[in-house]
Chains A and B, each alone.
Chain A
Amino acid sequence: MRIDGRRLDQLRPIKLEVGVLDKADGSAYVEQGKNKILVAVYGPREAHPKHIALPERAVLRCRYHMAPFSVEERKSPAPSRREMELSKVIRESLEPVVLTDLYPRTTIDLFVEVLQSDGGSRCAGITGASLALADAGIPMTELVAACAVGKVQGRLALDLSDAEDKHGEADLPVAFVPNANLVTLLQMDGLLTTAEFEKGLQMAVEACKTIHTMQREALKKKYHEIKEVVEEKEESEVVA
């Protein structure tokens, strides 16, 4: 049993929404525990400045950023070293699935805004980012799902909240692409034996598969809603 009443292998409640922003080409909103994260995708669009463009593929760009009010003590809005590192690893977790060679000389820009942070925000950010990419209609081989496993009081526990993470002994964030069986994000800090690592990795991969199903549902739901709107419109036209 954990402080929020969860089992060791239980995820926090997750809410996924797609197409939440008007101007972005694709967007998603993720809640996981008290995490509240907005992700927007712009692109493929013309590369600015031009010299950053690559001749044979699109450049993927990513900014992970935390709102000043997202944490207990106000965080300076200037990008920290942590945010710069996370921008890099989030980008690298998505690079393997995006078919960037379809859009040479362009950029695909990803903005991950953490409105409220509650542990595991990089993973929730990745889960949201792949939804936003799909929402933007950018061809991908698969959605990427991510989840962390931690070690608290000597035991491996799935999806640590902020409170658990602060008193935890290890944190192991993982992103996973189910159909390719590929781990595309892997970080670790703390102390784990190799046996604990292998068990933790397995727990994280299983959780990613669960989240992956939820991602597909969230995408389907949006198209279902669009279909309903269209049908209603058609019906009213028939009546008229």
Chain B
Amino acid sequence: MSSTPQLPPVAKLEQKTVVDLIARGKRIDERGPDSYRPIQIQVGLIEKANGSAQVSLGKSKVLVGVKVEVGEPFPDTPDEGVLTVNAELLPLASPSFEPGPPGEMAIELARVVDRGIRESKAVDVKSLSIQKGKKVQVVYVDVYVLDHDGNLIDAAAMAALGALVNAKVGKFEMKGDEVVVKPGHHPLPINNYPVAVTLAKVGKTILVDPSLEEEQVMSARLTVTTDKNGSICAMQKGGLSGFTVDELKRAVELAVQKAAENRAKILAVAKG
């Protein structure tokens, strides 16, 4: 069952400072309303994964590992590989995260990242079939949140894209009834580059890339994932309030622009 979250207690004075600054067009970390915190991306740090990427968004830190294994296709898509995204909010990442099965925040994070990749057809699942209806490649994208200082969705989506672009797999072939993997360094078939941009509404202001302090005072949140052509492939509103239609239009416009900037940054590193 989904419950109204219990926000960690923040000193009222600090909250007021954050809100007042935003009302005056400033932010507590001295950014403008439409600027991101510094983005750092590293790829290939986990040798045992097929692909990996770590993204820092200011002090938020997310590691994504991609593993490719052999599995069975879903009955309704017998000639398509399988893509699954899972997210873990590690207890080491925040005092508010606890060990245990994924809660609604982790599930939402994973599903929003998943939707961006799936709907933009970033991974060409058709070419991941090994033997129709029997054997396909299964791409596991595991999102590992290491440090939570706000806007995990954008960090996770960028790291997932970086890890997919970075991934190298062997060659999967049928030998009789068995699948054998010939060692090799083939990239995954990647056709699109979805990038998520999250905006927060504080008072009447729309900000990109909310930090944790800003998430604690925001009334609502919107994530817009756009593909390489600037089309929208996923959206998710969150938070206790909403947006007017005009705010949404402005937010989407800003998101398309920011996604293009961030996409260039990720690909510059991930493609090497």
Contacts and interface: CB of A to CB of B under 8 A. Distances in A.
A61 B237 contact: no
Contact of A183 (B107, B120, B248): B248
A186 B235 contact: yes
A201 B250 CA distance: 13
B233 A189 contact: yes
B26 interface: no
B197 interface: no
Contacts of A89: 236-238
Interface in B219-240: 222, 227, 230-240
A121 B111 CA distance: 18
A68 interface: no
Nearest to B240: A95
Contacts of B233: 188-191
Interface string A165-200: 000001010000100111111111111111001100
Contact of B115 (A91, A189, A205): A189
Contact of A188 (B111, B232, B242): B232
B119 interface: yes
A81 interface: yes
Contacts of B107: 81, 84-85
A194 B232 contact: yes
Contact of A184 (B1, B120, B242, B249): B242
Nearest to A172: B235
A96 B252 contact: no
Contact of B1 (A62, A85, A181): A62
Sorting the interface of chain B by its residue count into under 10, 10 to 19, 20 to 34 or 35 or more gives 35 or more
A57 B253 CA distance: 35
A194 B256 contact: yes
A153 interface: no
Interface stretch (B2-10, B169-177, B181-189): B2-10
A84 B256 CA distance: 29
B34 interface: no
A202 interface: yes
B245 A92 contact: no
Q: How large is the interface on A (under 10, 10 to 19, 20 to 34, 35 or more residues)?
A: 35 or more
B122 to A, nearest CB: 12
Interface string A57-94: 11111110000000000000000011011011111110
A35 to B, nearest CB: 21
Given A61-B4, A85-B108, A92 B231 contact: no
B104 interface: yes
B234 A201 contact: no
Main secondary structure of the interface of B (DSSP, over half): mixed
Interface in B1-50: 1-4, 6
B111 A194 contact: no
Given A88-B108, A201-B248, A61 B253 contact: no
Contact of B237 (A62, A63, A84, A187): A187
Interface string B95-120: 00000000010011011000100111
B3 A60 contact: yes
A85 B111 contact: yes
A14 interface: no
A193 B241 contact: no
A61 B231 contact: no
A168 B115 CA distance: 15
Interface string A104-146: 0001010000000000000000000000000000000000000
24 contacts: A52-B6, A54-B6, A58-B4, A61-B1, A62-B2, A88-B2, A88-B104, A88-B108, A89-B238, A91-B3, A91-B4, A109-B1, A182-B242, A182-B243, A183-B242, A183-B244, A183-B248, A188-B236, A189-B233, A191-B233, A192-B231, A192-B232, A197-B232, A198-B252
Given A172-B235, A188-B234, A194-B256, 6 more contacts: A61-B2, A183-B242, A186-B236, A187-B236, A192-B231, A201-B249
Interface of B: 1-4, 6, 104, 107-108, 110-111, 115, 118-120, 222, 227, 230-245, 248-249, 252-253, 256
- Enumerate the 4 nearest inter-chain pairs by beta-carbon distance, A residue then B residue, closest first: A188-B235, A184-B242, A87-B2, A182-B242
Interface of A: 52, 54, 57-63, 81-82, 84-85, 87-93, 95-96, 100, 107, 109, 170, 172, 177, 180-194, 197-198, 201-202, 205
